[in-house]
Structures are given as structure tokens and as C-alpha cells.
Structure 1
Amino acid sequence: MAETNLTLSLVANFDDLVRRLIPYNTELTDFSIEMVKLIDTLNEQLNYAQNEVKEFKERCNLLELENHKLSANLKNTKEAYKKEVAMRASVCRDREGLSKINEINFSSELLSDDDFDKSEDDIDEPMNDRRGEIKFTSNKNLLAAEENRKQTEIKFASTQNLTPIKENISKPTLLPGSQSKSRIENRAHSFAPKKLFRSNETCTVCNSKFGFYAAYFRCADCRACVHGACKTKLPTPCIPYTTSNQIDKKGRLLTIADFVNPNSRPCIPGIIVHCCREIERRGLNEPGLYRIPGSDSEVKGLVEKFLRSKSGVPIISHVDVHVLCGVIRNFLNRLDDPLITRVLWKDFIDAAKMENSEDRRPYLIQAVSDLPIPNKHTLAYLILHLKRVMSSPHCNMPISNIAKVLGPTIIGYSSNTEILTVSVYSETSAQIKTLEALLNLPSDFWSELISDPVSEQPKPAPLVEAVNRRQSIGSRVVGGSLQSQVLNPWTSNRRQKKRPLF
């Protein structure tokens, strides 16, 4: 019994002890939780402060680098300013030294009225004027020498035997590939030395930035900027620069004339000339030119570089030839009005439908001559380029393949709007026939369009009957047609005499 009471007392004491410890444990738990939360908050603040310190250090480093660059530019500017001041001082000294030189005094300025008297009437004149006698004898000698020279020339001309050698003389003829290069390929750059005061200019050849106040060369025509050592590496020919502001204008039709300089002859875009030359230099041994597509991203990027460049053309010596072919096709597909303008589109199609090539040729020639100058020159240059591709056995691109691949690109469709599927098939076959007919024209005709400045003037119609038919129709004609053979603008008598009211 005593043991049982002792056990109960121990349990009661333990329960009492536990009951007393419960409040203390609760307070300690809450305090611990608060401490943990406080520590987490402090850790977050510490991390945020450390990140801010890193950012400020990076900014400080960038500012130090910029300060170093600006200090170097300031130092170079001071040196350049000192040089300019010294040159100006030397020029001013030279000018002051030249201003001190006395002018040449003539005898008429040295003599005054007091130095001589007017008593020439009292002095007897000499009987013989030696000065006049010397002049007279010298003239006689000159006349005698001239007479002897003429007689000698007459004797020499009479003794010469001139034999005509007109027979068996072969006239020099240029190759089809070199006729068009007489005015394009020989167009060199016109460099002028410059000093750079901006740090955003880069060399067109090596693509490295120029230093501040560095000497470089800039072409006055194509605006290419190069180092002195890179002048010979700049690609030729030099195509005059054209602004790219017209490209971004919305609601404006893009034509080939927007990418050429109207004062240059021949009038061909630089992207066409440089890509064709590079293809002919490296790609005439590549099979499937214009048939095998290049990388679409590279094609679009290179086209943008050509059109947006303000300092010459980009270097394309390392670009794949299939990408260059895609650049030409992409550029021509961007035009709202193709090379064969839609005004003359029906003339080309109707002329190509003629079965007899002899009857077809004069109509095609007349249609080509009616094209605008940029369209005509670019078409001639492309046709000559495609003829060289056709003549290469390694390319495996006969006239039929080239016409199928490039017919829709060069000839285009009859309308800029969406057309029916049936019309697309019919016009595609007509485009192929038209491009084949243009490729069958002789190379001399296309070469003369580029090299001969007379070709820029409008040519007369090949058939007199066509002109007579055109005159019988009248002047109220829009565009042109195959029957008219002549393109005249639509004219109307808008200014009519006002009738009297009373």
C-alpha cells in the first residue's frame, strides 16, 4: 500500500512538472520561430546588398573604361588641335612674308611729270628709224623661212607614195562576254583621304573599326571606307551609291529604278553586278546554278546588307555561290514592277508566241528598246550573265532549265493582284517561252545596249506598216501594244475653250 502511494505521488509530481514546463516550451518555440524569420530576412537583405555591390562594381568598371577612352580621345584631340594651330601659324607667317614683298615697279610708274619736259617738238627727229628697220627685216626673214618650209612640205608630200591597205583587214571584234565589260568592269574607285572624328565607322574590307582621328580613304561614288592597305582589296566595279530611304515608304511601288543612280551609265543595281561577277568568277564549275536553293536566312541577311549599306558593298568573296544566286532571285522578286514592265508585258508575250524566229526578232527588239533605261540595262546584263551560265558544261543548265527557273522572276505576271490558278499556269508557260526567246537573241544586241550610249535613245519602229497603223488609231492610247509598236502616253484635250454663257 505504501509503494502504491509512492508511485502515485511520483506520477502526480511528474504531471505537475510537465504542466509547469508547457508554458515555457510554448514561449521558446514562438521565440525560435521569430528568430528564424528574422535571420531569413537578414539573409535576404545581405544578398540584395551583395548584388547591388556587384552591379555598382561593374558600372564602375564600365565608367572607368569609358573615362579611359574619353581621356585618350581628348589627348588625341589636343594633339590634333596643336598640329592644326601650328599649321595655321606657319601659313599665316608665309602669307605675311609674301605681303612684305614689294610689287614690281614698272618704268611708267617710276617716271613723273617733273622728270622730263615736253620739248620733243624742238628736237629734230633722226632720219633713219633703226627700230623699224630691224622689225621690217625680221619680218622678211620670217616670211622667207615660212615659204621654204611650205615648199619642203610640198616636195615631201609629192615624193611619198601612199598605198591603200584596206583589203584583207580583219576588224577587231570583242567576245560576247567582254563587250558589256567595257563600261562596267573598268569603272574604278575614286578615293579621297579623310580624317575620322567618329568612332562608329568600320572598314568595308576588313570590317574593323577606325581609330579616332585616323586616316582612311573614302570613295566619292560608292562611299566605301577602307584603310590604306585595303584599297586594292575593295571589289570592283564601283557602282554609285543610292539612298535606301525610298525602300521603307509604304504605299509606294518599288521598281528597279529605285536602286540605281539615274546619272550613271549603264544603269544597273550594284547588287546585280557584284553577285553576277562573283558567280562567274567562282561558280561556273558548280552544277545547278539558280536551281539549287541556298540558305534562306543567309539570302535575306545578305540582301539587307546590300540594300541598307551606307559605306560600299559587303564582301562576298566567301559567300556560297548558291546563296548569291538566291540573292539575285530574292532581289528581283521584291520588285512590285518586274524587269518586263506590266505596260509592255503583253508585247513580249505576243512576240514570243510567234513560231518563226525571224518574224519574232524585230518585235522583241522593239519591245526591249521601249523599256525604261534601268530595266533595259539590267535585263541586258542578266541575259549576258545567263548566257555564260548556259555555255558552261559543268553547270548543267541549258536554256530550258534557266527559263523554267527564272521565267517568273524576270518576266513576271500580267497583274500585281492575285490571279486565278488557271491564269497562273497559262502565264507561267508564256513566261518560259518569253525568256527562251530573249535568250535566243544574239549577244551582240545585248552588249550594244550596255556599251553603246546611242542605245539609250529611243529607236524607230522596225516596220513601217506598224507605224502607219499606230498613226491611224489616233493619240488616245494607254500604254502600248504589239500592233502599235510605239509607246506614247495618253493625251487628252483637257483644256477646252469655255463657251460663252450668253
Structure 2
Amino acid sequence: MYDEQSMDSLLDDRLRIHMNPNGSDELSLQRDDFYASAYPQSPQLLLRQHNFKLKVYYSNVGNCVQCNKRIRFAVASLRCRDCPLRCHTDCCSQLTVNCIPQPLVSTKRGHLSDFVPRAAPMVPALIVHCVTEIEARGLEQEGLYRVSSTREKVKRLRHKLLRGKATPHLGDKDTHTLCCCVKEFLRSLERPLIPMYHRRDFVLATQQTDPLAAEEPLYLAMVDLPQSHRDTLAFLMLHWQRIAQSPAVKMSINNIAVIFAPTLFDDVDLNLSNIVLWQQVLRVLLLQSPGFWAQFLEVEPLLPACSLDDEEWKRENYHSPSWQSVKTYFRSMVNLAD
């Protein structure tokens, strides 16, 4: 369908592209060293850069995550190797969606570690995508995390982010729906973001009168947390600090502490004294410098989950004895049905 001239013009004559000889619908690149220059990513600071590959789809794969326009049939587009993101080749330079690798094991349990990528920073994709969109459009909007949204919208958005086959476009979602989705996700965890057996360390660390004196014991308390809890807490602290610094939002540190203290600690015995204590702890956490929280969000290189890609795995295992037995079983079932 594509001749050599049209495919070369797709990359501004800097890349030479040809169809794979093995018959797959992917496009192979002869000069990978020019790939990054051909598709520069957004200048916005992302947690992790995308690892794109060119791919031609011969089925309906949905819309571009950036412009929300449909990815056309049999037209070359970009897909990230590490996360379920798809976009047009022209939208790559304006891309503002972070690359969040998918978890190794997809389960329906409610532990935070079930939703985080396999490499640091271990922050769930739902939180990263919602927070990125909130900060892009909502820092001049009053009432973030105070104004509620409809339960049906929050449920639908949460299902797309957790169970969808591709990263959804969030540019048309209401910011209050995004905020409610973050709060609902934190409430649904089986273990709160600051587990019960780590609360004493945070209470002792935040009892210091000087915020600088509390930095060292607070660092030790953060190190003792599971990595998924530590990275997610640091990411949310930076987000809430940016919200508190925006005068248009009208959300002070005290207001954020009042809203999120019961969610982060989720005490079984929610009496007035415990709520006041957790609010005080959260206020001290929010008063720490952004550099203190940024040190927990260093990006680790992503190791491949398997050395063979899908096509190589099929070629290696299609004629294996176990796969042959599966094919024989289904053929026998078809013959019996006839």
C-alpha cells in the first residue's frame, strides 16, 4: 500500500522504512540513531521518556492520546514499547503524557504494589496521568479536590485508566472528575498510603518544632516505607505543594491536610484526636522542601521483561510439544462438534 517514496517522506527523508520481511505489520528502521531526532518528544519534563516504535494497524485501535483523533486504518503511527500509549507521528512533539510501564502482573486486588510499574518511580499510572492533566489545566481553577463530581463519571474514568487497553485521552475530562478519581483510588486501597505499622515513625519525626530538624528522622521514616508507597507519597506531596502555591485554587496547606489526612492514614478508630494528629503530621510533610521529595523520584532504567518479542516468541514456541498438544485438543473438539 505504501511505496518507498511515500514512506520516506513520512520521516522527512531522514529515515528509510520498509515492511518487515517476516510479514508482521510493524515497520523496521534501518537507522535507529536518527530515530530520536526524527521524533522529538515534548520539552516538558516527563518522569520517563517514551520508547516509540512505528506500527501500522489494520484494525480499529482507538484514538490518539494527544489530539483524541482517530488513528486511521493502515497509516503509520507511534506506539510505546513500555506503556500502552498510541499517538500520531505528528503529535509526538507535543506529547505531554508520561510513560508509565505496565505492572508485571495484572490483578484486581487493592494493594498499591499491584498498580505500579516494575521500575522506579513506582507511581500508579492513574495517579500520574490524572495529576499531569490537573496541573496542566486546573492550577487556575478554584476548588480543586473540594468540588465533587458525579459518581458515574469517576467510576467510568477509573475503569479506563485501570483496565483500558490503551492510555486514554484526558484533555476533555473535567478537572474535578480527575481530582475525585485520585481520591477514590487512594480510598480503595487495602492498605493506606502510610501503613499502620509506619505511623509511629512519622509521628515522632513530625513532632520536632523546627521543620529542618524533622528532615533527618522523616527521611529515615520514608526509607522504611515500601517503595511503591514511598514513591507515590513523594509524587503526591510535590503535586499538593504546587496546588497550595497557586493563589487561584485557594487551597492552603491546612485545607489539603484536612481533606487528605483521613485518606492517607485511614485509621480504623477515626476519633477527633486521631484526625487532628494526622492533620498535623500531613502539614509538616507538606512544609518540607520540594527537593526533599524529589530525591525519592529518581528514574531507574527499565529492564526488558523478556528478551524475546512477541513475534520471536511465536516462532520459538509455535511448534513446541505443549503448543502442538493444545492445537490437537481443539481440533478434536471441533471434530466432535461436527
Do both proteins adopt the same fold according to a TM-score greater than 0.5, normalized to the shorter chain?
yes
* Aligned AA (1:444): G
Structure with bigger helix share is 1
Identify if the C-alpha distance between structure 1 residues 357 and 237 changes in structure 2 by more than 3 Å, giving closer, same or farther: closer
Secondary structure, aligned partner of 2:293: helix
Is this contact kept in 2: 1:340–1:411, CA < 8 A? yes
2:297 pairs, out of 436, 439, 450, with: 450
Is this contact kept in 2: 1:411–1:435, CA < 8 A? no
d(CA) in 2 for partners of 1:439 and 1:262?
27
Is this contact kept in 2: 1:352–1:437, CA < 8 A? yes
Matches within 5 A, 1:274-423: 274-311=129-166, 313-355=167-209, 357=211, 359-413=213-267, 419-420=268-269, 423=270
d(CA) in 1 for partners of 2:180 and 2:230?
22
Identify if the C-alpha distance between structure 1 residues 184 and 451 changes in structure 2 by more than 3 Å, giving closer, same or farther: farther
Q: CA deviation at 1:188?
A: 2.7
Q: Which residue of 2 aligns with 1:434?
A: 281
Matches within 5 A, 1:100-249: 185=46, 187-197=48-58, 199-205=59-65, 206=68, 208=70, 210-211=72-73, 213-232=74-93, 234-242=95-103, 245-247=106-108
Could you report, residue by residue, the CA deviation over 1:351-396 in whole angstroms, capped at 9, with x for unpaired residues?
3345554554332221112112121111111111111111111111
Q: CA deviation at 1:283?
A: 1.1
Q: CA deviation at 1:411?
A: 2.9
d(CA) in 2 for partners of 1:382 and 1:358?
21
Is this contact kept in 2: 1:244–1:307, CA < 8 A? no
Identify if the C-alpha distance between structure 1 residues 332 and 353 changes in structure 2 by more than 3 Å, giving closer, same or farther: same
Structure 2 unpaired stretches of 5+: 1-17, 23-42, 301-338
* Aligned AA (1:203): N
**Structure number, greater radius of gyration:** 1
Ranked by relative contact order (alpha carbons within 8 Å, sequence separation 6 or more), the top structure is: 2
Q: CA deviation at 1:271?
A: 1.7
d(CA) in 2 for partners of 1:191 and 1:270?
18
Q: CA deviation at 1:346?
A: 2.3
Is this contact kept in 2: 1:183–1:266, CA < 8 A? no
Identify if the C-alpha distance between structure 1 residues 401 and 202 changes in structure 2 by more than 3 Å, giving closer, same or farther: same
Identify if the C-alpha distance between structure 1 residues 221 and 433 changes in structure 2 by more than 3 Å, giving closer, same or farther: same
Is this contact kept in 2: 1:188–1:236, CA < 8 A? no
Count of paired positions: 261
Is this contact kept in 1: 2:71–2:88, CA < 8 A? no
Identify if the C-alpha distance between structure 1 residues 406 and 369 changes in structure 2 by more than 3 Å, giving closer, same or farther: same
Q: CA deviation at 1:242?
A: 2.8
Could you report, residue by residue, the CA deviation over 1:241-260 in whole angstroms, capped at 9, with x for unpaired residues?
2367311xxxx5x2222111
Q: Which residue of 2 aligns with 1:269?
A: 124
Identify if the C-alpha distance between structure 1 residues 359 and 186 changes in structure 2 by more than 3 Å, giving closer, same or farther: closer
Normalising to structure 2: TM-score of the pair?
A: 0.68
Is this contact kept in 1: 2:55–2:79, CA < 8 A? yes
d(CA) in 2 for partners of 1:274 and 1:360?
31
Structure 1 unpaired stretches of 5+: 1-82, 89-181, 414-418, 454-502
Identity score, percent: 33
Q: CA deviation at 1:431?
A: 1.5
Is this contact kept in 1: 2:104–2:117, CA < 8 A? no
